[in-house]
Amino acid sequence: MNLDELEADREIDPNAPLSLPEKEICDRYEKVFTAAVNDALREKRLTNQTLPNGLVPLRERMRSAGFAFTIKGAKNLTLKNEMAERARMLDDIPEDSFIVWDTSLDRDSAHWGECMTMAAQRKNCRGAVVDGGVRDTDQVIDLGFPLWVRYRSSNGMLGRFRISAWQTPIQMGDVIVRPGDLIFADIDGALCVPRQMAVDILIRAEELANGESELKQWIKEGMSAVEIVERGGYF
C-alpha cells in the first residue's frame, strides 16, 4: 500500500511562504464578508469549505480572519498532567493564528473561557472557532475576543474532556482543516481557505465584493432583474 500522496496532502507546511505578508492577508479578509469568500471558493470548485452551521459568534458584529491553529480532543476523565498539557498548547499559539477546535462532538464541557481568552490574546491570536462550549461568557465578551461556539455551559473541561493533540489536521463537519489554512468568520459562520489558495481567493473575493456594490446600485436605479443578470449580475 502506497500512501505517500495522501500523507503529503495531510501534512502541508503551516508556514509555507505566501505572496503577501500574513497580517496583511488577515486584515484584508476582514474587510470583505464570508459570502464573497464562499463564492470565490465555489468558482474554484471548492464547495465544502464551510465549518458546521451550528457554530455561531458570541456577538453579531464579530468578524475575524487568521491562520489555523488546530486542536483535537475528546471526552476523557483522566486528570494527570491535563493542565500541564493545556498550558503547553496555549504557549504554542503563534501570532495571527485562528484557533480551530475539534472536540469529537463533545456536548457536555465548556472548552473555552476567560483565562484561555486572555492567554490567546497575549499571543496575538485573532479568534477561535470551537465545536463545543464556552463559559465565563460575559468576561469573554468584555475582552472583545472573536469567538464562534455551539453552546454555553458552566462545566469546565477538567475531569470531563482532554486535549489529545494540536497543530495536526482535523475534520469539522465535511471540512478538513490543516494547520496554516486561512480561517475567516463573521455573522454568517466560519469557513476554511486552503493555505496555498489564500491570496488568490482573497483577491477574487475583493473583486466580488466590489461588484456587489455595483449590483446594488443597479437595483436602486430600478433596473429589472433580467437586465441585471444580462449585465453579469446575480442574486
- Give 111-139 pLDDT, tens digit per residue: 999 999 999 999 999 999 999 999 999 99
Q: What is the pTM of this model?
A: 0.89
Mean pLDDT of 209-229: 74
pLDDT at 178 over 70: yes
pLDDT at residue 56, as a whole number: 96
pLDDT at 218 over 90: no
pLDDT at 213 over 70: no
pLDDT at 73 over 70: yes
In a domain, 5, yes or no: no
Per-residue confidence band for 219, with pLDDT thresholds at 50, 70 and 90: confident
In a domain, 110, yes or no: yes
Q: What is the CATH number of the domain that holds 146?
A: 3.50.30.40
Mean pLDDT of 171-189: 97
* Length reported for the chain: 235
In a domain, 8, yes or no: no
- Collapsing DSSP to helix, strand or coil, 169 comes out as coil
- Residue 63 gets the label, from left (phi > 0), alpha (psi -120 to 50) or beta, of beta
pLDDT at residue 220, as a whole number: 78
In a domain, 50, yes or no: yes
CA-based end-to-end distance of the chain: 48
Give the pLDDT confidence of 13-69 residue by residue, as tens digits.
Answer: 888 889 999 999 999 999 999 999 999 999 999 999 999 999 999 999 999 999 999
Q: Per the structure, how many domains does the chain have? A: 1
In a domain, 145, yes or no: yes
Burial class (CB in 10 A: 0-12, 13-18, 19+), 28: middle
**Between these two residues, 230 and 19, which has the higher pLDDT value?**
19
Q: Are 68 and 194 in contact (CB under 8 A)?
A: no
Per-residue confidence band for 235, with pLDDT thresholds at 50, 70 and 90: low
pLDDT at 211 over 80: no
Tell me which residue range forms the domain holding 67.
18-230
**Between these two residues, 82 and 230, which has the higher pLDDT value?**
82
Report how far apart, in Å, the C-alpha atoms of 154 and of each of 74, 108, 134 are. Answer: 18, 10, 8
In a domain, 167, yes or no: yes
| Beta-ladder partners of 189 | 186
What would the grid cell of residue 12 be?
Answer: 502541508
In a domain, 131, yes or no: yes
pLDDT at 7 over 80: no
In a domain, 235, yes or no: no
Please count the CA atoms within 13 angstroms of the CA of 174 that sit on its side-chain side: 7
Give the pLDDT confidence of 139-162 residue by residue, as tens digits.
Answer: 999 999 999 999 999 999 999 999
